[in-house]
Amino acid sequence: MSLGVILFLALWGFFGWLLVHNAREAKEGIVVEGQAENKSSQTGPATAEENQPTAEEAEAGSVAKEAAVKGEGNSQEEMTQKGEKENSKGSEKENKAEENEEENEKQDGSGDFKNADQKKEVSPGLISWGHATGGRKAVDTVIVHSVYNSLGGEEYSLSKILDIFKRYDVSAHYIIAREGKVHQLVSEKHVSWHAGAGKMPDGRTNINSFSIGIELINAEDDKPTGAQYSALKNLISGIKSRHKIKYVLGHDDIAPGRKTDPWNFDWSKIGGKED
């Protein structure tokens, strides 16, 4: 054989072997891929049956759930009991606060009567003008005034008199109507603007800061009623039980020449003037 024939046969054999080898690798790749797909399909989404827990897992989950529910129930029960206790305490505090407030009113004059019978005689109608909450000193003086509606209409109308007070930004701690009804306008703890400029017998000024003002509804040409005298006497008695009163005076006593009230007033009907 010639050298050319030998080379041809060698090349032919090599190409034949290469074709057979490539075909075998392709076949093995298909087999491997198919096995992978089969394995994937076998280990794919779990069925309902496969998702069922084992008996041990089910028992453990049941115990855990029961414990959780029991714990939650205890927590709610404890919270309810705690809430009831807090509400009970809150009610007790409110009741105690009301009792203390009533007691304080009896003692310090914010309610302005020491006992229930006297307190019933006063109609509280605290106003929002004509007074100050600061600057209060120890109360030792009572000033008696007279007032009426001088601007037209019913001269003894309480509402019209209060309108005048509001217009001029003045007040009194108490005002006594013709029938003897006592109306409280300002707390005794606060400074009522009732006295204006004036001077006490001991030389003190700024009289509003240490005094309690009482207005009698009465005109200049009239005189107080018997019911007003009686109510005023009782009112002053109550004030004396709450404060160390040294002076009981008329408006004209602290501002002579400027004021002339209380008009036509008989001091003997309340036990006399204290000056």
Q: At 193, is the pLDDT very low, low, confident or very high (cuts 50, 70, 90)?
A: very high
Q: How far apart are CA 85 and CA 51, in angstroms?
A: 48
Give domain 116-270's CATH architecture.
3-Layer(aba) Sandwich (3.40)
Which two structure tokens, joined as six digits, stand for 29?
Answer: 């790749």
8 A C-beta contact, residue 227 and residue 178:
yes
Q: At 2, is the pLDDT very low, low, confident or very high (cuts 50, 70, 90)?
A: low
Rounded mean pLDDT, 169-178: 98
Q: What angle do CA 249, 253, 258 make, to 5 degrees?
A: 135
Q: How far apart are CA 137 and CA 47, in angstroms?
A: 90
Per-residue pLDDT, 122: 79
Helix (H, G, I), strand (E, B) or coil at 216: strand
Rounded mean pLDDT, 2-28: 61
Residues annotated catalytic, as ranges = 215
Q: Are strands 122-124 and 182-184 parallel, antiparallel or unpaired?
A: parallel
Report DSSP state, residue 175: E
Q: Are strands 122-124 and 141-147 parallel, antiparallel or unpaired?
A: unpaired
Rounded mean pLDDT, 88-96: 48
The lowest-confidence range among 31-35, 186-190, 208-212 is: 31-35
pLDDT tens, residue by residue, 53-74: 444 444 434 333 333 333 333 3
Q: How far apart are CA 57 and CA 262, in angstroms?
A: 97
Per the listing, tokens 């790749």 go with: 29
Q: Average pLDDT of the chain?
A: 75
In degrees and rounded to multiples of 5, residue 197 shows phi and psi of -70, 135
Give the residue from 259, 211, 274, 242 showing the smallest Cα distance to 112.
242
Per-residue pLDDT, 141: 98
Q: Which residues, 6+ apart, have CB-to-CB distance to 212 below 8 Å?
A: 139, 141, 142, 143, 173, 174, 188, 192, 239, 243
pLDDT above 70: percentage of residues in the chain: 56
8 A C-beta contact, residue 213 and residue 192:
yes
> What sign for the dihedral angle of Cα 47, 50, 55, 56?
negative
Highest mean pLDDT among 74-88, 114-128, 168-182: 168-182
What are the domain boundaries of the chain?
Answer: 3-37, 70-108, 116-270
Per-residue pLDDT, 220: 97
Compute CA distances 253 → 37, 213, 217, whole Å: 117, 13, 19
Q: At 272, is the pLDDT very low, low, confident or very high (cuts 50, 70, 90)?
A: very high
> What sign for the dihedral angle of Cα 11, 16, 19, 21?
negative
Chain-centre distance of CA 35, in angstroms?
A: 78
The lowest-confidence range among 13-22, 24-33, 124-133 is: 24-33
Q: End-to-end alpha-carbon separation of the chain, Å?
A: 165
Q: At 123, is the pLDDT very low, low, confident or very high (cuts 50, 70, 90)?
A: confident
pLDDT tens, residue by residue, 195-254: 999 999 999 999 999 999 999 999 999 999 999 999 999 999 999 999 999 999 999 999
pLDDT above 90: percentage of residues in the chain: 54
Q: How far apart are CA 272 and CA 158, in angstroms?
A: 27
